[in-house]
Amino acid sequence: MSGQDIVDYSKLPDAELAVLLTGGDQAAFTEIYDRHWKLIYVHVYKMLRDEEDAKDIVQEVFGNLWIRAESIKNNTNIAGLLYTAARNKVFDLIERNKVRSDYIGEIASFISGTGNDQVDTIDEKRIIEILEREIQKLPPKMREIFELSRKENLSHKEIAAKLNISEQTVKKQVQNALKAIKPKLNDMGIGIAILLLMR
C-alpha cells in the first residue's frame, strides 16, 4: 500500500482497519491484533481455565481472520466477529468433551457480558445442544419423565397414566431432574432456561 509508512494505524477506527484488512493490509491486521487480542484471551481463559488452550484459540481466531480477510463484509463489527469466533471455538472444545460441563455458566456469562453491540445473537441452538447432553446424563426413568414433561408437554397426570406410576412419583422425578440440570443453567439467561425447561 502506497504511503503505508505514514499512516498511523493506531488512530484508525476498527471499521477502517477492517476495510484495509480485506485488501491484505498486514499493518491493519497487526493493529487489530494488538487492539483486541488481550481482551479475547482474558475472556477465553476465564471460560477454559487453561492457558495453553486459551492461547491456541486466540491464535486460531486471529489466524483465521487473516486467512479469510478478503471475505470480510463491509461494515463488519471486528470486535463482534472476534468474540463470535472465539465463542464458537470454545463451543467446539466443549462438544469434543475437552471442557468440563460446570463451565457452561461461565461461558454464558462471557456471552452476555460482551454486550449486544459486540456479539451477534446468541447461538441458542448450540447452547441447548450442550445442555441436552446434561439431560442425557440423568437416570433413564428420570430422563424419560422429564422429557415427557418438558418436551411433549404432558401433565403429571398424563405421564403417570402413560407410565403406570403415581403422580407424586412423576412430580418428584421432575423436581429431581430440575435440581440436577439447573446448576448448568447458572447465569445463562431466562430465555434459554425457558426454552429448555419451561416448554
Domains of the chain: 8-122 (1.10.1740.10), 124-199 (1.10.10.10)
Across residues 46-69, what is the average pLDDT?
88
Please compute Rg for the chain using Cα positions.
22
Across residues 73-91, what is the average pLDDT?
86
Nine-digit cell at 144?
A: 424419560
φ, ψ of residue 152 to 5 degrees: the values are -100, 0
Where does the pLDDT of residue 177 fall: very low under 50, low under 70, confident under 90, or very high at 90 and above?
Answer: confident
Looking up cell 451477534 gives: 120
Where does the pLDDT of residue 21 fall: very low under 50, low under 70, confident under 90, or very high at 90 and above?
Answer: very high
Instruction: Give the residue from 162, 160, 90 showing the smallest Cα distance to 126.
Output: 90
Own/partner long-range contacts of 46-49 (Cβ < 8 Å, ≥24 apart): 46/106, 46/110, 47/90, 47/99, 47/103, 47/106, 47/107, 47/110, 48/90, 48/93, 48/99, 48/103, 49/103
Give the pLDDT score at 189: 41
Looking up cell 495453553 gives: 52
Give the pLDDT score at 40: 92
Across residues 135-159, what is the average pLDDT?
85
Instruction: Give the residue from 63, 121, 60, 133 showing the smallest Cα distance to 94.
Output: 133
Cα distances (angstroms) measured from residue 103 to each of 69, 78, 107, 182, 185: 32, 26, 6, 13, 10
Give the pLDDT score at 61: 93
Contact 132, 123 (CB under 8 A): no
Question: 72: which DSSP letter?
Answer: P
Across residues 96-125, what is the average pLDDT?
48
Of all residues in the chain, the percent with pLDDT exceeding 70 is: 69
